[in-house]
Amino acid sequence: MFHMTAMDHIVLNVEQMDTVLDFYTNVLGLESERLEAFRQGKVPFPSVRINADTVIDLFPLKEPVPAHATPLRTDLNHFCLVISKDDMPGFIDHLQAHGVAIEDGPGQRWGAHGTGISIYFSDPEKRRIEVRYYDN
């Protein structure tokens, strides 16, 4: 038998790369990787780093999603990022300062480390993101 030990990466299909990169780097504060190589056509996609073990790959869509498609993506409900309890109030203020609406929360929800407090919001291409903290 075996067991998974970590999540290495997730891949998001992206229509407007510059807008999405700006959101993940400037609003969420993630560091970009391979961005210059991507812009030079040396690699097929850039990434943003969550931590030493996990990245989000931003894969450019070849064809745009039709404007009438609702929701735009049906294969991903949301993904969740973790911050410290002390950072949550400032993070909420930061989102609001960037015009990002809190869609749900703060509220108590179950996650990988038990129950935590989280909020939900969306990126510029309508992907839902949960950010949470744990007391433990």
Decide if 50 contacts 12 (C-beta within 8 A).
no
Residue 35: which of 2, 53, 24 has the closest Cα? 24
Task: Give per-residue pLDDT as tens, 33-88.
Answer: 999 999 999 999 999 999 998 999 999 987 766 656 555 555 677 899 999 999 99
Task: Give per-residue pLDDT as tens, 76-115.
Answer: 778 999 999 999 999 999 999 999 999 999 999 988 888 9
Give the domains, in start order, of the chain with CATH numbers. Answer: 1-63 (3.10.180.10), 77-136 (3.10.180.10)
Count CB neighbours of 102 within 10 A.
13
**The pairing of beta strand 31-33 with beta strand 47-51:** antiparallel
pTM of the model: 0.79
Largest interatomic CA distance in the chain = 48
